[in-house]
Amino acid sequence: MSGNGRADTVILHFYQQVAGCPDELVHEIFAVDMSADRKVDLQWAEDLNPDSRPRMLEKHRVDTFADSFLKLNWFNKRSHWQRTLTMYVDRFGKTGGPDAIKLDFHERTAAQSKGSLVYAIAAYDDNSDGVLELLSKSGVDCNGIADSADPALIRTLCATFLAFEWHAAEVQCAI
């Protein structure tokens, strides 16, 4: 988008899951790194302005998430939507809070294909202490090495995802 030859745009889609209905796109936010320093310089959303933006989607949180996502190196070439990351709460703990966050990395190889799950990562808070323990041994930043940067990156993504508070109870569909 910025023309600097590097991954520079993160598009966040926030869907509302409604029982018996298709998921509904509720918010779409664009975060752009114009300077190629892996830090968001510009952010905009058609459906949100600073006065009406929900607190949990405040600019700082979106910037933190997008900055971390850019470090994953999980980006699309040109304008093709071949790679996506889907994050969701998979399980709630004894206290009612999320204790399992899943990250599903999908890649579409054919023009009309839905996309294949390339790899999945799970972060768990098994003892409800607010600390995520990762159950992934693979590198996630596409540098070919499973190193200490990978768990830190996933923890930041998961912590920011949880701060978005996008894991409310299921809403019933009005048909």
H/E element, 152: helix 149-163
The last residue of a domain, from among 11, 29, 57:
57
- Give the pLDDT score at 113: 66
Closest by Cα among 69, 64, 120, 129 to 99: 129
Q: Within this chain, do residues 88 and 34 fall inside the same structural domain, yes or no?
A: no
Judge contact between 65 and 157, C-beta under 8 A.
yes
> Which residue(s) pair with 68 in the sheet?
none
Do the domain assignments include residue 62?
Answer: no
Output the pTM of the full model.
0.76
Judge contact between 25 and 13, C-beta under 8 A.
yes
- Give the pLDDT score at 3: 61
Closest by Cα among 60, 130, 138 to 103: 138
Mean pLDDT by 10 residues, the chain (175 residues): 69 85 87 84 70 73 90 72 85 83 84 76 82 65 55 86 75 49
Q: Within this chain, do residues 33 and 99 fall inside the same structural domain, yes or no?
A: no
- Give the total number of structural domains in the chain: 2
Q: Within this chain, do residues 146 and 83 fall inside the same structural domain, yes or no?
A: yes
Do the domain assignments include residue 175?
Answer: no
Task: Tell me the angle at which helices 59-71 and 149-163 cross, rounded to the nearest 10 degrees.
Answer: 150
- Give the pLDDT score at 150: 73
Q: Within this chain, do residues 27 and 97 fall inside the same structural domain, yes or no?
A: no
Q: What is the Cα–Cα distance from 67 to 132, expressed in whole angstroms?
A: 20
- Give the pLDDT score at 128: 75
Q: Within this chain, do residues 37 and 78 fall inside the same structural domain, yes or no?
A: no
- Give the pLDDT score at 170: 46
Q: Within this chain, do residues 24 and 77 fall inside the same structural domain, yes or no?
A: no
- Give the pLDDT score at 148: 58
Phi then psi dihedrals of residue 174, to 5 deg:
-100, 105
Q: Within this chain, do residues 53 and 121 fall inside the same structural domain, yes or no?
A: no
In single-letter form, the type of residue at position 78 comes to: R
The domain of 110 spans 72-167
